[in-house]
Amino acid sequence: MSCCAPSAELALAMTDPHIADEEMLLASRIVDNGVRQTDLSVPSIHCGGCIQAIEAALGALPGVEQARVNLSTKRVAIRWQADKPPPPFVATLDRIGYHAHLSDLGSDAKDETLTELIRALAVAGFAASNIMMLSVSVWAGAEPATRDLFHWLSALIACPALIYSGNVFFQSAWRSLRRGQTNMDVPISIGVLLAFGMSLYETMHQGVHAYFDASITLLFFLLIGRTLDYMMRERARTAVKGLARLAARGALVVHDDGTHTYLPVGEIQPGMTILLPAGERVPIDARVTQGQSEIDCALVTGESLPRPAMTGSALSAGTLNLTGPLTIVATAAAKDSFLAEMVRMMEAAEAGRSIYRRIADRAARLYAPVVHLTALLTFIGWMIATGDAHRAVTIAIAVLIITCPCALGLAVPMVQVVAARRLFENGIMIKDGGALERLAEIDTVVFDKTGTLTLDRLKLASHDRIDPTALTVAASIAAHSRHPYSRALAAAGRDKGLAPLALTDISETPGAGLEAHINGTTYRLGRPDWALTDASANSAALDAGVVLSESGRLRAAFHFESDLRPDVRQSIAAVSSQGCRVEIMSGDRDEPVRRLSAALDVPYLAGVSPAGKTEHIAELTASGRRVLMVGDGLNDAPALAVAHASMAPASAADVSRNAADLVFLHDSLTAVPQAIVVARNAGQLVRQNLVLAVGYNAIAVPIAILGHVTPLIAAVAMSASSLIVIANALRLTGPRLNKQSRAGDSFVQKPLHSLRMEEAR
C-alpha cells in the first residue's frame, strides 16, 4: 500500500524531469487547509550538503511553503499551496544534479546502490592488500630494479581500482563542482587523486618512494564508512516499507448491481462496500455494516484481548479479523488510512533523528578541507623556503597522508563493532551503530505492556479455585477453537491432566463463543451476554472474559492474564539502579495495566493511541529527558522511531523490529539493563579513541610540516594510529550484572501528569 501514490506507474515516471501536473496532483495529498504535500524519492542524497542544497532549491520555488529532506529514507516532503499549479519540483532537482521521482512506498524495486558500494569496497580491499604485499618487499630493501618493477606493478593494480572504486566519490564530487558547489566528496577525491598522482610521478622517474598503498588503503577505509552508513539508513527505509506491506494489497468490493470485483487497495474509495473473510486483515479504515466477529487489535492498539466487532463498529486498517466474515464500508481512502498515518509518523520521527547524521556529515566536510589547506600551505611554505618543487610536493604529500582520518574514522565504528559482538553474545542484536551513543545517554525507560513486559500468550488466572469438573467441560469445548481464550483454557486442562470429554453438536458463533452437548445437556462457552439466560443477574459473570453455562445457567467464570516475561522485576530494579526512571505506557485497558503497575511499583499510562505514545515521548524529550522506548506492537512503531533509543523483542511485529535500534532474541527482559551497560562502556571507549586520534594528529602534523617525515613513514604512522584505536576498542567488556542488584528509588504509583508537576515544583 502506498499513502501517497495510487499506482506503480507514478513511481516509474522518474527519469522525466517534466512530470505532468495531473500526475503530480494525483500523487499529492491535502495535509492542511489550502496546503498539499508531495513526496519525492531522491536516491542520490547522502550527506548534509545534499540536504541543504535540496531544501534551499525547493524552498525558493513560488508557492512552496516547506521542503524537508529525510536522509534515512532519501525522500523529500514538499508542502505547497493547493490553489496554485504544482511547482517544477523534479526539474529543479535535476538542474542542481539530483534525479528524483514520485515516491511509492509499496514499490519493491531493487536498490542497486548497496550492491555497487559492496563491489567497490571489494575491489578496493583486494587492490589494497596486494599493493601492501608489494610495498612490504620494497620496504625490506629490494634492489632498485626490483623496486621499480614492484612500483609499476602497484600502479597497474591501483589504477583500475582507483577508477572503479573511486567512482563512488568522483561522480558526486564532479556533479557538485560542475554546478559551482561543494560537498564532502570533493576534498576526499582531491586527496586520493593527489596521492596517486604523486606515486605515479615517482614511479615514472625511478623514485625511491611510491604511495599507491596509502592512496588505495585510504579509499578502502572511506568505502567501509560509506557502506556501513548506507546499510544503517537502509534499515530505516525497510521499517517504512514493512509497515506499508502490512496492509492487504486489495479487497473484494461489492458494486451496486451486486457484482463483486477485487480492487487494489489504492483504488478503494470511501463509501465502497467490502467483503472481509475471517483470517484477513482490514485493508482500509472502515465501518461494519453486517456480521459479527472479533478483531485482533494487538498490533495496532496494544490490547491483549480481542475486541468484538458488530454492526456500527469502526475498524482500523491493519487489524486482523479473527472469527467471522464481515461486510464493511470504507470510511477513508488508502492514503488517509490509519496505516498511512503510521507511515507518516515514522518518517517524521526519522527526519527528526537525522540531526545526528547531519552533525557527522558536517564534521567530515570540515575536516577534509582543513587537511588539504594544511598540505597546500606546507607546499607553498617549502617552495618559498627552498625553491625545490619536488621536495615541497613530497613533504605536502607526507602531510596529506599522515593526517589521513583513518584513525578518526575508526574511532567510533571499531567500538561499535566490538560492542555489537558483546551484545550478540548476550542475545541482543544492534541494527544502528549510532544507537549505542544514544543508548548511553538515556535517563528514562518507557516499557510497553502487552508483548514487552508480558508475553503474548494468555493463561487462566486462579485456576486452582475453579471447579475441576467445570474446567474439564470448558477445556474439552475450548479444544475445538483457535481463539486466544480457548487456547488458554485448553492449555489449563492439559496442565492439570484433565481427560477430555466426548462432545456432540459442536458449533461456533463468530464473536460470541462455542456451543456443545454432553449427554443431552447444552453447554455454552463464551461471552456472558450470549452464554447466559440472564447475565445481569450474575455479577461475577459480568467481570469475566469467558463464562461456561449449563442450560443457560452460570457454571463457571474464567479470568485470564498474560504471563510476565522472565526476570521482569530484576530487570526493572537493575535499570532503576543505573539511574533511569521507569514508566509503563500501553494501549491496553486501564485495569490490567494498573494491576501490573502496582505489582512492579512504577507509574503508568493506559489506553494510549499510537499518536499519543509518540506525543508522550516527545513531551518527555522536550522536558529534557532522553528516552529509551521498549515495545513490540505495530502501535509502538512510531514511538520506537521517535525515541532517543529503542528496543524490541524478537517476537515483535516486523515493523517494530525494523524500527527499533536493538532487538533482543530471548524472553528475558535483562536484555535492557545489559544493553545500557555495554552502551555506557562503549561511550567511554569512543571518547578515549577520539582523544587518541586527535592527539596523534596534534603531534604528527607539526613534525610532518617541518619535513622530518617521509611519505613512507607517514603511511606507517597512519597505520599505527589506526591499530592503536582498534586495540583500545577491543578492551570493551561485556555486561556484568549483579543478580542481587537493588532497585533505585522507585516512583510511587500515580498518574504521570502528577509526577511531572511534582518534578516541575
What CA–CA distance (Å, rounded) separates 604 from 558? 26
Report the DSSP pairing between strands 260-264 and 250-254: antiparallel
92-137 pLDDT, tens per residue? 888 888 878 776 544 444 557 778 888 999 998 899 888 888 877 7
Nearest Cα neighbor of 514 from 530, 490, 496, 498 is 530
Question: Is 523 or 176 the better-scoring residue by pLDDT?
Answer: 523
Instruction: Report pLDDT for 129.
Output: 87
CB within 8 A of 129, min separation 6: which ones?
none
200-209 pLDDT, tens per residue? 888 888 777 7
What CA–CA distance (Å, rounded) separates 240 from 589? 28
Overall average pLDDT of the 474-482 stretch: 87
- Show which residues are catalytic: 448
Q: Alpha carbon of 26 to those of 86, 100, 520: distances in Å?
A: 11, 17, 63
Asked if the model's pLDDT at residue 328 lies above 70, the reply is yes
What is the percentage of the chain residues whose pLDDT exceeds 70?
75
Instruction: Report pLDDT for 758.
Output: 34
Asked if the model's pLDDT at residue 233 lies above 70, the reply is no
DSSP per residue, 184-237: THHHHHHHHHHHHHHHHHHHHTT-S---HHHHHHHHHHHHHHHHHHHHHHHHHH
Asked if the model's pLDDT at residue 708 lies above 50, the reply is yes
pTM (two decimals): 0.53
Q: 2-20: string of b/e by CB count within 10 Å (b at 16+)?
A: bbbbbbeebbebbeebebe
What CA–CA distance (Å, rounded) separates 615 from 642? 9
- Put residue 448 in one of left, alpha, beta given phi > 0 → left and psi -120 to 50 → alpha: beta
Q: Which phi and psi angles does 5 have, rounded to 5°?
A: -135, 125
- Grid coordinates given for 109: 524495486
Question: Is 289 or 334 the better-scoring residue by pLDDT?
Answer: 289
Instruction: Report pLDDT for 397.
Output: 73
What CA–CA distance (Å, rounded) separates 412 from 433? 9
Q: Are 7 and 103 in contact (CB under 8 A)?
A: no
Residue 588: exposed, middle, or buried by beta-carbon count in 10 A (0-12, 13-18, 19+)? buried
Q: What is the DSSP letter of 259?
A: -
Q: What is the DSSP letter of 750?
A: -
Question: Is 106 or 467 the better-scoring residue by pLDDT?
Answer: 467
* Other beta carbons less than 10 A from residue 649's beta carbon: 25
411-460 pLDDT, tens per residue? 776 677 777 778 877 778 776 656 777 888 899 999 988 778 887 677 78
Asked if the model's pLDDT at residue 399 lies above 70, the reply is yes
Q: Alpha carbon of 456 to those of 432, 636, 649: distances in Å?
A: 26, 15, 11
